[in-house]
Structure 1
């Protein structure tokens, strides 16, 4: 049962948001509490993963949940470190084949569409830990042996946020496991497509091993409607390339990869740039068939 203290905090937060709404949109904004039914969701996803997604794997889903719960409950919402999840991660070791690792930053929707079409790619969200906790929120409370279902702080509130700590460790493990040719998908329609403070820039990039990774293949894609801000030859992508060179990585960089552009156009076939692409492809088809 949620504590009186946490319930009061939630009510006070709502009153403040109604009275002074601008206070609710800063970097320390509180979000809704732990995702309802989180236990059933996590355990259910675990059984789905081991039964349908990766049926060859064997994990103790109930024990994974117990170790997760142990790491979070009876801890303040800003006092859960990566070490708290040590036992949980030990229970879900994974090894993926080389040449399948797909990293991303600020391209969430597109990257998962890309991975769904090109099935040989795997993102962090395709690993067991990513599959279990994707899109969930959680935090505990010191005075109660349960999750706080009323209010959890935003990630930016603290460096030992329970959600941030889990994803930080998961991202590091994923990058350390990467081998062969890896792919990084970045958004050329935003400033700082490569951001050193992002999970990719601050955790995953540092955890890549140049002795295990042959090539880092960067793909920069812009939104069909623009703006076209960054590319392989300008903006923060150049900083990423310099970091790769300094660490001994080989790399490639591609702007507006055709497969990615087509995936974007599937969402908006009437966009002028998509119609132009379709016409060009039809013309090429006509030329090759004559």
Structure 2
């Protein structure tokens, strides 16, 4: 039975590869979530009319009223109903296996919106939560179930619904950044490959811009002309999307060199620009 749940576990590992699976609920969860919500509606999206207390209440009820491994996607429906968000066209940025780099890219360019830039994504980013085995007894701050043992892990279910909503709101041109230095840069079991890609509407999305970025020191395993990226391109073609693909994006290269200026390839690039 555990094997049946591996795709969900893999997606969680991609989302939270720096978090331990045997940790309990993040300490001070309520204060963190509410604080982020108030910060978002005050500083990031001033003028938005979200009721942070209501969002927290619906989130809490979804988690603690059910066993730790039985929080389904639909159990968060009331929470998402309390936090609807319209996103501007031509700004959505998807990613897989490029988490930190993508958020640096988004912050510097100020032209894109990732899932973690939305209200729900901002509120719950990098947090862990689960209820106690005895329902209605609050959050378990000692230990949450391992992701690979849960069909309906409370963290996974929330992010799956958030990802579905994010993809469904996509319109105009969208961008996806994948890691060309990893095998299966496009993975059908990742959150992008299994949830977001299927949620894109070809009648709403004009163009899918694929950007493949490899580590400066290599290796180059996947690119626009080889590896798993070709599988992604074939899916886009089959579903009627228009697309472009580049693995030599200048802005991404400059950002990499800003972060790693001593790399030989960056020094050569700098000299060629003089």
TM-score by length of 1: 0.86
Q: Gaps spanning 5+ residues in structure 2: where?
A: 1-19
Q: Output aligned runs, 1:245-264, within 5 Å.
A: 245-264=237-256
For the pair 1:276 / 2:273, whether they are aligned, the reply is no
In the other structure, the counterpart of 1:63 is: 54
Asked whether 1:239 is paired with 2:239, we answer no
How big is the shift at 1:30? Answer: 4.1
Is 1:31 aligned to 2:28, yes or no? Answer: no
Between the two structures, name the one with larger relative contact order (CA 8 Å, sep ≥ 6).
2
Stretches of structure 1 lacking an aligned partner (at least 5 in a row): 1-28, 283-290
Is structure 2 residue 190 aligned with structure 1 residue 218? Answer: no
CA distance in 1, matches of 2:34, 2:91: 27
1:222–1:256 contact (8 Å) kept in structure 2: no
Tell me whether 1:196 sits opposite 2:201 in the alignment: no
Moved beyond 6 Å, runs of 4+: none
Distance (whole Å) between structure 1 residues aligned to residue 65 and residue 41 of structure 2:
29
Does the CA contact (< 8 Å) of 1:77 and 1:153 recur in 2? yes
Tell me which residue corresponds to 1:48.
39
The 8 Å contact of residues 73 and 142 in structure 1, kept in 2 or not, is answered as no
Q: Which has the larger radius of gyration?
A: 1
Q: Does 1:138 align with 2:129?
A: yes
The alignment covers a number of residue pairs equal to 254
Cα drift, residue 34 of structure 1:
0.2
Residue 104 in structure 1 maps to residue 95 in structure 2? yes
User: How many Å apart are 1:264 and its aligned residue?
Assistant: 1.1
1:103, 1:183 within 8 Å by CA — same for their partners in 2? Answer: yes
1:285 corresponds in structure 2 to none
1:64-103 correspondence to structure 2 within 5 Å: 64-103=55-94
Q: Is residue 186 from structure 1 mapped to residue 144 from structure 2 by the alignment?
A: no
Cα contact 1:43–1:65 (8 A) shared by 2: yes
Distance 1:280 1:154 in 2: 50
Aligned: 1:153 with 2:142: no
Q: Tell me how far 1:154 sits from its aligned partner.
A: 2.8
Q: Supply the distance in 2 between the matched residues of 1:179 and 1:72 (Cα, whole angstroms).
A: 32
Deviation at residue 158 of structure 1 after TM alignment: 1.8
